[in-house]
Every structure is written in structure tokens, then in C-alpha cells.
């Protein structure tokens, strides 16, 4: 059994981790930390977990995380980097669901996240946890930087085109929509029901924190810098990411065959038949990314539609997928649930 600790178990990604981990046959949840809720039964805060977990939230100082095999950080940016070094030194593996270890350029990270990095030496070691690209490195990693929700949908959508070298990488466009749970569980005016419901808006057009992460990933695939316009939107739904991606084709190719071949062995990427349009509800509650490929009017523009659940493949599910790889377990173990419909 893998003895697991969760730091920051009261947010949406924290409870999503719990939802999957309590059903995982090879996991023992040893500790769930929360300074604000220390001493409270987990099932009292999250009644969906009644009958599945009998732990209480504990203060991080008293949680003995150094005795775990693996610790998940489901915390705001800037927390994991304060504690990861001591855990790694104690022989504990770490998966950070925030952004502390995603961007290799420390100055770039500090610019976008507005703070000084506490352990830049570990950033170089951290493996970016997108299994469809870095599966072999993940298997031997001590520290995983779990990808963001927007970056997961965008990179999986563009990946086959860039790998094949058949698109203009200087003018990629990602038009992406997210449900409000992507903003976290904290109270904020823009996610109040009266603000977000019956409304649809773009935000972060001059620059969004996920932009450097996406560009870094796509540039690695291309082995050269890419040009990307990334525009995120907030839509009035709880879960879901819908990425509409545009790329100019440099040569004629069968896009459907290209995508089907690239993802044929990927358990969590489903390439839909030609002409279909994926829906966010078709992946709700699951670790799936569903992709559809289009070439409107046989033009030189590829339009890729990529949908995920931002809390699962965009966060907790992908983190457990990485855990399975790190501990030599079947990659789908504990996260192969059927999506929720309706």
C-alpha cells in the first residue's frame, strides 16, 4: 500500500483527490492537512465522503508527512516550494498540483507569480507530469509538477500537429473556456452565483499565468520557440474545459489518421470519429480528454476541439495517474470512472 498525505485538503482539488483515493485499492490515506479546519472530521466538511473516510483534518505541523510514501500538495501557489525540500530529503515523493515547479525559467515564474521562489534548485529536477509526453521520466521521478487545467487541454490538442511538424508554430491560437471551479473554493466576487451565472466573459487577454506554461510545453515539443495567442474565458458551469485550437497547416495531411495513431495507446485520450464535436459533459467527473479534429471547408486551417474536466484530468485525476506511474501500478488504477451524465 502507498501511504499518502494530502496538504490542503479543503479545496476543490483536495476533495477531488479524496474522491478518487478512497476508492484506490493500493492507497492508504495517512493524513489530510488544513490549518483552518484542523480537528474537524473530513466527512463533516465533505458529506459526499461519509462512509468512505474516517480521518480528521490535521495541522500540517502535527501530520508527520515525512512518514508518507507520497505527498500531494493541493495548495495555493507558493506553499509546496516551502515544504518540498524537507520531504524529498526524508525520502518522500511529491506531486504538486499548483504551479511551483512547472516553469523552468525561475525569473519567468517569479514574474508571473509575483513572489521569490523558495527552492529553485528543485525546479530543474521536477518532471512535468503530462503522461502522454513524459511517461518514462515520471516513472522514476521524486517530484512531479502536475500540469494546469488549461495547459493540459491545450497541449494534448496541439501535440500531434507540432510533433508531425505540419503547422505554422508561430501563429497558434487557443480559445479556451473554463467552469468556475477552476478559480478554486475561496470566496471571490467574480465567482459568486449572481456574477458568474447567466454570463460569459473573457479574461486575462493581455497575459494569463498559464501562458508561459503552455508555451514552454509546446516549445519543447517543437524544439524551438512557439508563438501562441491564448485567451481564457469563464463560462457559467461548475466543471469543464473546452479548448478550441487553431493552427495553419503547412502541408496536406489526413488529420483524423494523425490523431488516431498518436493517441491509439493512450487510455485517457479519446479521439472522436470524424465530424463529431466533444462536449464538456461527456468527460464530467472522469480523467478523459476527448478530442475532435476538423478542417473547415478543406482550408489550410486545422481546428482542434479538446475537452477535459478541469478538476480531474486538469488536476486530481492526472495527479493520481502520475502516482500510479511513479509506483509501478497500472496507469488507469483508481481513475477509470465513467463520466457523469447528465
- Quick one: 159 and 276 in the same domain? yes
Say what the pLDDT of residue 179 is.
95
- Quick one: 143 and 154 in the same domain? no
Task: For residue 204, give the nearest of 174, 227, 225 by alpha carbon.
Answer: 174
- pLDDT tens per residue, range 78-114: 999 999 999 999 999 999 999 999 999 999 999 999 9
Residue 119 is a catalytic residue: no
Q: How far is CA 164 from CA 68, 210, 252, in A?
A: 42, 24, 12
Would 337 be classed as within a structural domain?
A: no
- pLDDT tens per residue, range 25-77: 999 999 999 988 999 999 999 999 999 999 999 998 888 999 999 999 999 99
Say what the pLDDT of residue 17 is.
97
Would 341 be classed as within a structural domain?
A: no
Query: What residues pair up with 249 in beta bridges, in sequence order?
Result: 167
pTM, full prediction: 0.96
- Quick one: 253 and 109 in the same domain? no
- pLDDT tens per residue, range 160-188: 999 999 999 999 999 999 999 988 887 78
Range of the domain at 64: 2-147+314-326
Q: Strands 93-96 and 127-128, how do they pair?
A: unpaired
- pLDDT tens per residue, range 205-230: 999 999 999 999 999 999 999 999 99
| The three-state (H, E, C) secondary structure of 136-198, written as one string | HHHHCCCEEECCCHHHHHHHHHHHHHHHHCCECCCCEEEEEEECHHHHCCCCCHHHCHHHHCC
- Quick one: 160 and 295 in the same domain? yes
- Quick one: 188 and 136 in the same domain? no
The active-site residue, picked from 68, 119, 149, 289, is 149
Say what the pLDDT of residue 184 is.
84
Q: Strands 228-234 and 301-308, how do they pair?
A: unpaired
Query: What residues pair up with 32 in beta bridges, in sequence order?
Result: 6, 57
Would 332 be classed as within a structural domain?
A: no
Q: How far is CA 299 from CA 146, 157, 163, in A?
A: 36, 19, 21
How many structural domains does the chain have?
2
Amino acid at each position: 500500500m502507498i501511504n499518502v498525505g494530502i496538504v490542503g485538503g479543503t479545496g476543490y482539488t483536495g476533495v477531488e483527490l479524496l474522491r478518487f483515493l478512497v476508492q484506490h485499492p493500493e492507497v492508504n490515506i495517512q493524513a489530510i492537512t488544513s490549518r483552518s479546519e484542523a480537528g474537524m472530521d473530513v466527512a463533516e466538511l465533505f458529506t459526499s465522503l461519509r462512509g468512505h473516510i474516517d480521518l480528521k483534518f490535521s495541522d500540517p505541523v502535527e501530520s508527520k508527512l515525512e512518514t508518507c510514501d507520497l505527498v500531494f500538495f493541493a495548495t495555493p501557489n507558493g506553499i509546496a516550494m516551502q515544504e518540498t525540500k524537507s520531504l524529498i530529503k526524508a525520502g518522500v515523493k511529491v506531486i504538486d498540483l499548483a504551479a511551483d515547479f512547472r516553469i523552468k525559467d525561475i525569473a519567468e515564474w517569479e514574474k508571473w507569480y509575483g513572489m521569490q521562489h523558495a527552492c529553485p534548485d528543485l525546479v530543474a529536477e521536477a518532471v512535468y507530469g503530462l503522461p502522454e509526453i513524459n511517461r518514462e521520466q515520471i516513472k522514476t521521478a521524486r517530484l512531479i509538477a502536475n500540469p494546469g487545467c488549461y495547459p493540459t487541454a491545450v497541449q494534448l490538442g496541439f501535440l500531434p500537429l507540432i510533433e508531425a511538424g505540419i503547422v505554422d508554430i508561430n501563429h497558434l491560437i487557443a480559445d479556451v473556456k473554463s467552469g468556475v471551479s477552476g478559480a478554486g473554493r475561496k470566496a471571490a466576487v467574480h465567482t459568486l452565483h449572481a456574477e458568474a451565472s447567466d454570463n460569459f466573459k473573457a479574461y486575462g487577454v493581455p497575459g494569463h499565468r498559464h501562458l508561459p506554461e503552455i508555451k514552454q510545453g509546446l516549445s519543447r515539443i517543437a524544439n524551438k520557440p512557439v508563438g501562441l495567442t491564448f485567451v481564457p474565458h469563464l463560462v457559467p458551469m461548475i466543471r469543464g474545459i473546452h479548448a478550441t485550437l487553431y493552427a495553419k497547416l503547412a502541408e496536406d495531411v489526413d488529420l483524423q489518421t494523425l490523431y488516431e495513431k498518436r493517441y491509439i495507446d493512450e487510455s485517457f485520450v479519446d479521439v472522436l470519429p470524424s465530424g463529431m464535436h466533444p462536449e464538456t459533459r461527456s468527460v464530467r467527473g472522469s480523467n478523459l480528454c476527448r478530442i475532435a479534429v476538423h478542417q473547415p471547408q478543406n482550408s489550410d486551417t486545422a481546428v482542434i476541439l479538446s475537452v477535459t474536466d478541469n478538476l480531474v484530468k486538469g488536476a486530481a485525476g492526472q495527479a493520481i495517474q502520475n502516482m500510479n506511474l511513479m509506483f509501478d501500478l497500472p496507469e488507469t488504477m483508481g481513475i477509470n470512472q465513467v463520466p457523469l451524465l447528465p
